[in-house]
Chain A
């Protein structure tokens, strides 16, 4: 019995020690708090993709210009977790696939799209050795898309239809974007499509070939949007407006010069995405209009096109219209938006 007590004591000691260690190295609980740390409760979900680049850029530039953190960017690793964290109220705003946001709205989730995150920035990749050279060649092939509610799927839908084909002509599989390069490498699928930089990665590593860039098939393509909880819109208009203005300014800043794009690639790779900076450098420059961060206002006709495609694709029911899922009152006048007056300290 005594040795049992000893074991229990050892276990208790271990629990205390590992808790203290975790608090010290991972949670920084022993570091002195700065004033205002507690006020930072506005959490925004994002994924490490170029479609969400303005989120970390806004956060980083704001922090280094004013020392202030307007919001708390939370990185997720996949769509389901990002969506669930929003539904649980853990994040008050989130970068999210446009059709997914519209679908959630149809299901009564209190969210409003307040701004876009980017335009374009998606590619369809095939294996270098594959015999697919035109969209028509996809007939009978297996194509990986990120999610059934992704615009990449709708884009494919549109591209096929314009060539007199339908989604029935290909085999679609859903796959998390980070797994796509390896799947293409192993030829487990014939083609992959998702947001960057996972498509550019296959080019950099020498086994992927671009079948199309979104800008060539669906100019001004929207993959992801910024969605905000209705409570935040009601109670905290100021923060939402600051956020939208920040994204507009950082978008302009990114698109101002190639040098800014490279600066963004560097600090976002290192501080937010934890990716090799070459990846973001590649997709932000080759070609420079592969993904764009200006012209982010919400346009009715863009969304109505997505809505129509979504209904055709069976993912939307048409229960929510543009005015239900969008709130355009935060959108700044594009001609007035100024890029951040900021340069990355080298």
Chain B
């Protein structure tokens, strides 16, 4: 739809679609939430304004930035390690068919296991340090990254590789000039999905007795008696930061090298 008449639409209309519409949906969501709590008469489930106050209270106590930093730290390391392992592993599996056949079944066995199931293993191996949640986040994101990288290589049109061979490109140049640009879009899509998963796992990962983080905030608030406003505050912060992360990866999709790949498809 957007490509149908890109020039006909004015700047103001684009702004409307980009900012105003989502804001309206958000506002409507808050209103419905508020109304539902009022109708149900529940005094346990918080209204949006109470959640906002809860977030304010956390910020005032200086906990909000601490928790955000802690969660981002764990997701950063877990996800970066997953990229460092997952992308090379995926490229390797995509390029060598025997490697794919050898490794893929194992990956498919490990992939559907929820990080919650790994919690005991993480504690037994890493105790109760930052390493345990990082390990869980790593596990949750490494397989989607590897699978999408493998699929990206497998999907390269053979004609490009053949053409490159005809030009007698060295192995390194073949990798740099053909494989990387051709696979990057799909790898980045994989990364985007995996980052979403990594961030999703943060609550489960912080159920281990770490004493900071947005996931910890939720679990701690459950321990704290009737503080469901803080539980929802943690959920809201996780959601908002997730949105920010997604926007960031989308920016990566607009890079030159990536566009090159898109045009090829």
Contact = CB atoms under 8 A, between A and B. Distances in A.
Interface residues of A, number: 44
B180 A7 contact: no
B260 to A, nearest CB: 10
Interface string A13-57: 011001101100110000000000000000001001000000000
A14 B130 CA distance: 18
A75 interface: yes
B224 A276 contact: yes
A4 B187 CA distance: 13
Range of interface residues on chain B?
Answer: 35 or more
Interface string B171-185: 000001000100010
A1 B226 contact: no
A178 B127 contact: no
Contact of A26 (B43, B66, B209): B66
Given A4-B257, A75-B209, A21 B127 contact: no
Contact of A15 (B77, B124, B127, B219): B77
Interface in B35-85: 43-44, 65-66, 69-70, 72-73, 76-77, 80
B119 interface: yes
Given A75-B209, A81-B207, A88-B127, A3 B225 contact: no
A173 interface: no
A77 B219 contact: yes
A19 B80 CA distance: 12
Contacts of A182: 44, 228
Contacts of A90: 123, 127-128
Contacts of A308: none
B30 interface: no
A69 to B, nearest CB: 16
A185 B208 CA distance: 27
B69 A21 contact: yes
B66 A81 contact: no
B224 A274 contact: yes
Contacts of B43: 205
Given A74-B209, A81-B209, A273-B223, A25 B66 contact: yes
B255 interface: yes
B226 A87 contact: no
Contacts of A342: none
B112 to A, nearest CB: 22
A62 interface: no
Contacts of B256: 3
B165 interface: no
A84 B124 contact: yes
A293 to B, nearest CB: 21
B171 to A, nearest CB: 16
Contacts of B224: 273-276
A288 interface: no
A181 B211 CA distance: 23
A153 B66 CA distance: 39
Given A182-B44, A276-B225, A80 B255 contact: no
A11 interface: yes
A273 B73 CA distance: 25
Contacts of B124: 84, 87-88
21 contacts: A1-B180, A4-B180, A4-B255, A14-B76, A15-B76, A15-B77, A18-B69, A19-B76, A19-B77, A25-B65, A26-B66, A76-B128, A80-B120, A81-B207, A82-B209, A85-B128, A179-B222, A182-B228, A273-B223, A274-B223, A276-B224
Q: A-B pairs with the 7 shortest C-beta distances? A: A90-B127, A22-B73, A84-B123, A178-B222, A76-B209, A88-B124, A21-B69
